[in-house]
Each structure stands twice: as structure tokens, then as C-alpha cells.
């Protein structure tokens, strides 16, 4: 199995409710997708904020898993979102994560969030995950 498949299977087990799916995982990076349908839209056609927060959270999580291996105990400690533009009601949401730091105890990354096909981002996030101590390390 590839790393991508391993992480996708792990994600499905750890976050069974999530609709976020893994597109790519690379060095210090990941790309995820959230299909947009009626359930993700508010009246008027706006993609709801929690959908974009879920994209940011999962994108960070899988980028970290790609570096440290499948580690369920890793938890979000901080997530800061800026909502920039109204997303399209007709396009999936894509999150592109780049890790800024991967330390022994903390990982920090940014996620740029797009409506698929739009050039300008609809949101931007920065998040911190706490990584549990490994045996015989700290």
C-alpha cells in the first residue's frame, strides 16, 4: 500500500464523520478535498464556515501524518482562520497545506483554501498540532 492509501484508511477510521478526502500527500505538505452539496450550503448559497474549518484541520492533520507516521494522539491546539471571499456554491473546496515547522512537540502549518477552479483563495488558516512524546525520546 502507498503512504497515501495508508493515510486515507487511517483518516476514515479516526474521523469517520468527515467528508474531507485526501488528494495528495507530499514532503511537508498535503492537498485535501471537500465535496460541496446541499448540506454544506447556507440559504443564499454560501459554503458554511465549519466546512472550511474542517478542511483546514484535516489538511494539517494529514500533512503531519505524512511526516511522522500514523499517530492518532496528535491533537489540534490552535486553529486560526481568515475568511477572504465567498466560495462558489457549485465547486468543491480544496485545501493546500504547507508545514512551516515540524518539531518534536509541535507542528505548525498553513492551509490555503480554494473553490476548485477559482484563482484567488476563499480562506486561509494557520494551525498548531501537539505531537505526543514518543517512547524513550523526551
Assess 128 for contact with a copy of itself (CB under 8 A).
yes
Asked if residue 108 lies in contact with residue 101, where contact means CB atoms within 8 angstroms, the answer is yes
Strand blocks (E) in the chain: 20-26, 29-34, 75-83, 93-102, 106-115, 123-130
Tell which residue, 128, 134, 95, 98, has the closest CA to residue 114. 95
CA pair distance 77, 83, nearest whole angstrom: 20
Assess 119 for contact with a copy of itself (CB under 8 A).
no
On the 0-12 / 13-18 / 19+ scale of CB atoms within 10 A, 136 is exposed
Only segment of 1-9, 29-37, 50-58, 62-70 that touches a copy of itself (CB under 8 A): 50-58
Cell of 64: 503531519
CA pair distance 72, 62, nearest whole angstrom: 11
Assess 8 for contact with a copy of itself (CB under 8 A).
no
Q: Which of residues 77-106 bind a copy of itself (CB under 8 A)?
A: 77-85, 100-101, 105-106
Total residues binding a copy of itself (CB under 8 A):
43
Assess 35 for contact with a copy of itself (CB under 8 A).
no
Nearer to a copy of itself, 5 or 76 (CB): 76
User: Shortest gap between Cβ of 19 and a copy of itself (angstroms)?
Assistant: 11
State the residues that interact with a copy of itself by CB under 8 A.
13-17, 39-40, 42-44, 48-50, 53-54, 57, 72, 75-85, 100-101, 105-106, 108, 110, 112, 120-121, 124, 126, 128, 130, 133, 138
Amino acid at each position: 500500500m502507498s503512504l497515501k492509501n495508508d493515510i486515507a484508511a487511517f483518516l476514515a477510521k479516526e474521523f469517520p464523520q468527515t467528508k474531507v478526502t485526501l488528494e495528495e500527500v507530499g514532503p511537508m505538505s498535503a492537498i485535501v478535498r471537500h465535496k460541496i452539496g446541499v448540506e454544506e450550503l447556507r440559504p443564499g448559497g454560501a459554503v458554511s464556515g465549519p466546512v472550511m474549518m474542517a478542511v483546514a484541520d484535516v489538511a494539517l492533520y494529514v500533512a503531519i501524518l505524512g511526516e511522522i507516521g500514523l499517530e492518532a494522539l496528535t491533537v489540534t491546539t490552535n486553529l486560526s482562520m481568515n475568511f477572504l471571499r465567498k466560495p462558489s456554491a457549485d465547486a468543491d473546496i480544496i485545501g493546500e497545506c504547507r508545514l512551516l515547522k515540524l518539531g518534536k512537540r509541535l507542528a505548525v502549518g498553513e492551509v490555503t483554501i480554494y473553490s476548485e477552479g477559482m484563482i484567488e483563495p476563499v480562506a486561509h488558516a494557520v494551525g498548531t498540532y501537539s505531537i505526543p512524546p514518543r517512547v524513550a525520546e523526551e
